[in-house]
Amino acid sequence: MEPSLGTRAKFMTFNRIQSRVVTGPLMGHNTLRKHLYLLGLLDSPLCRKCGVGEETSAHILWECEALASLRHVYLDPFFLEPEDIRSLGLGAIWNYHVELNRMPLKNILLSHVS
């Protein structure tokens, strides 16, 4: 399924950082803990927000209970299904990411990169 013309047009207005933020979770290339753990840069793949599940794109976008309220504000439902991601606007994903990074982290590992 290809993105709609409106989605493509919106994507073309994004700068490089915004483009990376909205495509990274969908493509699996990101700075989430699971990815960094697989690269050998972290000792644990656990989510910084809840400390329970592995911090993956799927976990952040539709599984993490600690992010349910934030998801509800920016993406509408408290919990999403994978197929719901296609119907989200790029602006909504961007706004969710911005607010997500403003939240205090529950478990911060400052020495994640040597």
34-73 pLDDT, tens digit per residue, is 988 999 999 999 999 899 999 988 888 888 999 988 888 8
Q: Which sequence spans correspond to the domains of the chain?
A: 5-102
Say what the pLDDT of residue 28 is.
63
Q: How confident is the model at residue 31 (pLDDT cuts 50, 70, 90)?
A: confident
DSSP annotation of 63: I
Compute the distance between CA of residue 39 and CA of residue 82 in angstroms, rounded to an integer.
25
Place of tokens 């599940």: 53
Instruction: Give the whole-angstrom CA distance, residue 108 versus residue 49.
Output: 9
Instruction: Please name which of 22, 29, 10 lies closest in space to residue 61, comparing C-alpha atoms.
Output: 22
pLDDT (0 to 100) of residue 103: 65
